[in-house]
Structure 1
C-alpha cells in the first residue's frame, strides 16, 4: 500500500497570521459519550473534525439508530412478540483511537448487546486490563479474545450491578477513570470511585466532571473519593472549545521563530482543557498570550531561558512538544511526569529518544526523571522523521522546519487523528508543504 510522506520547509524564520483550530478531541469524545447516555437530552455543538471524534460519533450514532428502530419494532409488535431483540454478535473496530477504546469499553459494558471491541495492531498492545477489572467488579461481563489484559475484548451484555464502590490506581491513564465516571449516573447504584495514590493527569478528570455537571450530573469529590449517584441528565447542549493540544504546536512554532505574531481563534483564558497550561510553559520561551478579539494572540519576545525542570504529570500530551522545543534550542532541561507516555499511540519516550538522536540530542532516562543532553547537538541539512503511527510525533517535530532546512515526515496523514488541517494550516502560514507518495 502506498504511503504519503510530507516534506516540510520554510524559507525564513518569521511567522504572522491567523489560525482557526478544530474542536478539542478530548472534550468532544467525552461529550459524545454523554450525549449517547442521555437518551437525546444532551446535544453536542462544534463537534471536532478529528478522525478519532468522527469515528466515535459514527459508532455511537449507528448504535443509537439501531436502538430507536428496536423500540419502534417492540412498540408496534403484538402482546405475544419478543420483549427484546437479539442482534447477535457485533464487531466494533476503533482502529488506533485509544480514547474511543476506553470510553466505549465502559459504554458497551452497560448495554444489552454482545460486542467485540477491537482496533489496530498497536491498540492490541495497549493495556486495558485495569478498566476491564473495574467494570467486572461492578457487574459487567467482559472477556479477552486474544491476550489477557489487552484488546480485543468481548462485552456480553446483561449488566447487573454488584457493587457501588471500586478502587483504581491514580497513576494509570486518566482515561480509565473518565470512562468509569462517564457511565456512573447510569449505574443503578451509582458509583463511589476510590483513587489510590497520587492522581496523574488530574485536569482531564476535572474536565470530565465539569462536563458532566453541565449535563446535569452532580458529584462529590472528598479527598480521594469521587461519588456520583444514579440520576438523570438535564436537557442541555455541550459546546466544544477549540483544541488547546493543537494550539501547542503553534506555540512551539512561535518559540522557534525569530519573529512571531499568531492569532488562534476561539480560545479563552478559562478552559476545561488541562493543555491550556501551554500558555504558562511557553512564557518561559518568551511567548506572551493576550486573550482578546475572540481568541489568543501569541507574540514572541526576547527572553533568556532559565527554567530547568518541567513537570508534565498533568499535561502529558504536551511533553513531546516541549521536549522538542528544548532540544532545538539546546536547552538541557529535565522532565518528570512522563510515565504514561510509554502506553500511548507508541512508546513516546523511545520514539523521542530515537528521533532526537538524529540531531545529536539525547533524552536520558534515570528512573522517572528524564534529562536532555544537547552537548553533541547539530543541525542536519535534512532530517527524516519517523512518526510511529503517532499524530503527536509528527506535529511536535514539525516546528523544527524553522531550524532544519528540510524535514521529511513518514505517513503525513497520521495527523488526521486529532488535527486534520495541520499541514494545510502550516502552508497557509508560509511553510512549504510537499506531498510525496512512496
Structure 2
C-alpha cells in the first residue's frame, strides 16, 4: 500500500509560525567531517531529514567498527562491515560516502535504489582512482553499485574535475582532502556550477580547523588535523523556500520562520532575493525571519538558477501559478537529480496547460493555454522536491492529490504536518502501490 496526500486550502490568507528542521546539506557535510575527525568534531542540531538520519547511522556504525566497539551479534553493524551499504535514494550520501570509503581500509559495496543506480558517479570515481582509490563497478560502468576495496595509497595530490557537474563531486573530494597523506590540489575546469555549495563546504571545514587556499580555478588543502570544535547545523533554507512560495501565492501572508539568519552558509538563502521580485519582504529579527506579502507587479523576467538549482522547481511553479512567463537558465544538473526534474516539471505543469519550453539551455514558460482544473493529481517521481514545490499550488487549485506523500521525509519530514498547522486541509489516503 502507498500513502497519497489530498491537499486543499479554503482561503488565501496565511499567517503563522513555522519551525524548520536542520539543513540536510549542512548536516551531511558536518557528519562526514565528524567521522573523519575521529572524535575532534561534534555535530549539533542533526537534521531529522531521512537522508541525514541514514548517513548518521551508517557513519556511526562504521566508527564503532573502527573502534572495536561493534557487538558480534549486532547484524546491522556486521552487514555494514561485511560488504554492503545501501543508501537508498540518498544522492548526497552516495557521493560523500564514495570519497569517505575510498580512503578507508575495509572493503565495502555502496548501492542504492533503482533510481540511484541510474545516477552517474563516474566523474567522482575517476578522480578517486587517479588519487589512488581502488574502486570497481558492480553492474554498469559509471553508475552505482560500486565496490571500494580499501588499501588506498595516494598516487598524486593534483586532480582536475569539470566545474559544470554536480557540486557534490567536488565537495566529496574537498571533505577528504586534509586526510590525504599529501593533501589535495583540485583544479576546476570551466565555470563552477552551484558555487555556494562549494563555499559552504570550505567554510564548514574552516570552522573545523581545516585551512584552504582558493586562487583562480585551483583549491588547495594541505594534510592537517581537525580542531576540537562543534558544528551547529542551521535550519534548512531549502525547506524555507516552500513557505516563501506559499507567501507569494497567497492574497495576504505573514509568516515567521524560526532560526534563520541573513548570514547563512546555504546558497538557497538567496530565496529572499528571488522572492522579493514577487512582493515578499524578509525581516530578520526575534531569532528568525518574518515574511510579509506586499502586492506589487512582477518585473523580473529572467532567472539564472545555476548557483541554486534546488530552488528551480519552487520558482518555476510559482511563476506558472501566477502566469508569469519568465525564462530560466542554469538548470543543467536537474536532469540527474532524484528524477529528471526538467521532464517532471514539463509533465506536471502540462496538467494545467502550462508549457516549459527548452531552447539552447534556456527554459521558458508558456502560460497561454493555462487553465485551472477542478482537481489535479501530481506524480512525485520519488522526488521530495516535486511534492513540496507543487504543494503551494493548493492556494490556487481547488483540490490536489500527491502520489507518495512520505517522499518528503527525505529532507523535510514534518512538511505535511506543518502545512496542516497553517490551515491547509491535509488528508492521507491509502492506495494500492
1:184-219 deviation digits (Å, cap 9, x = unpaired): 000000000000000000000000000000000000
Counterpart selection for 1:339 from 315, 332, 349: 332
Residue 76 of structure 2: aligned partner: none
Q: CA deviation at 1:90?
A: 1.4
SS of 2:299's equivalent in the other structure is coil
SS of 1:285's equivalent in the other structure is coil
1:304-336 deviation digits (Å, cap 9, x = unpaired): 001000000000000000000000000000000
Residue 226 of structure 1: aligned partner: 219
Residue 66 of structure 1: aligned partner: 65
Following the alignment from structure 2 to structure 1, what is the Cα–Cα distance between the partners of residues 239 and 296? 24
Residue 397 of structure 2: aligned partner: 404
Residue 424 (structure 1) aligned with residue 423 (structure 2) = no
Residue 75 of structure 2: aligned partner: none
Residue 292 (structure 1) aligned with residue 285 (structure 2) = yes
Alignment CA distance shift 1:88-1:97 (3 Å): closer
Residue 242 of structure 1: aligned partner: 235
SS of 1:6's equivalent in the other structure is strand
SS of 2:281's equivalent in the other structure is strand
Residue 183 (structure 1) aligned with residue 176 (structure 2) = yes
Following the alignment from structure 1 to structure 2, what is the Cα–Cα distance between the partners of residues 412 and 130? 33
Following the alignment from structure 1 to structure 2, what is the Cα–Cα distance between the partners of residues 215 and 95? 29
Following the alignment from structure 1 to structure 2, what is the Cα–Cα distance between the partners of residues 47 and 114? 28
SS of 1:288's equivalent in the other structure is strand
Q: CA deviation at 1:72?
A: 12
Counterpart selection for 2:140 from 147, 150, 156: 147
Residue 364 (structure 1) aligned with residue 357 (structure 2) = yes
Residue 351 (structure 1) aligned with residue 344 (structure 2) = yes
Residue 43 of structure 1: aligned partner: 42
Q: CA deviation at 1:50?
A: 0.1
SS of 1:263's equivalent in the other structure is strand
Following the alignment from structure 2 to structure 1, what is the Cα–Cα distance between the partners of residues 405 and 119? 23
Q: CA deviation at 1:89?
A: 3.9
Following the alignment from structure 2 to structure 1, what is the Cα–Cα distance between the partners of residues 355 and 326? 11
1:209-251 deviation digits (Å, cap 9, x = unpaired): 0000000000000000000000000000000000000000000
Counterpart selection for 2:261 from 246, 261, 268: 268
Alignment CA distance shift 1:214-1:303 (3 Å): same
SS of 2:68's equivalent in the other structure is helix
Q: 5 Å matches for 1:11-410?
A: 11-69=10-68, 89-410=82-403
Following the alignment from structure 1 to structure 2, what is the Cα–Cα distance between the partners of residues 379 and 36? 50
SS of 1:389's equivalent in the other structure is coil
Residue 407 of structure 2: aligned partner: 414
Structure 1: which 5+ residue stretches go unaligned? 74-86
Q: CA deviation at 1:70?
A: 6.7
Following the alignment from structure 2 to structure 1, what is the Cα–Cα distance between the partners of residues 185 and 388? 38
SS of 1:132's equivalent in the other structure is helix
Q: CA deviation at 1:88?
A: 7.0
Following the alignment from structure 2 to structure 1, what is the Cα–Cα distance between the partners of residues 71 and 7? 54
Alignment CA distance shift 1:378-1:412 (3 Å): same
Runs of 4+ in 1 over 2 A off after TM superposition: 70-73
Alignment CA distance shift 1:165-1:352 (3 Å): same
Following the alignment from structure 2 to structure 1, what is the Cα–Cα distance between the partners of residues 9 and 194? 35
| Contact kept in structure 1, 2:24 and 2:47, CA below 8 Å | yes
1:83-111 deviation digits (Å, cap 9, x = unpaired): xxxx9741000000000000000000000
Residue-pair matches, total: 425
1:146-190 deviation digits (Å, cap 9, x = unpaired): 000000000000000000000000000000000000000000000
Following the alignment from structure 2 to structure 1, what is the Cα–Cα distance between the partners of residues 71 and 56? 23
Alignment CA distance shift 1:70-1:156 (3 Å): farther
Following the alignment from structure 1 to structure 2, what is the Cα–Cα distance between the partners of residues 298 and 72? 50
SS of 1:166's equivalent in the other structure is strand
1:231-282 deviation digits (Å, cap 9, x = unpaired): 0000000000000000000000000000000000000000000000000000
Q: CA deviation at 1:367?
A: 1.8
C-alpha RMSD over aligned residues: 1.3
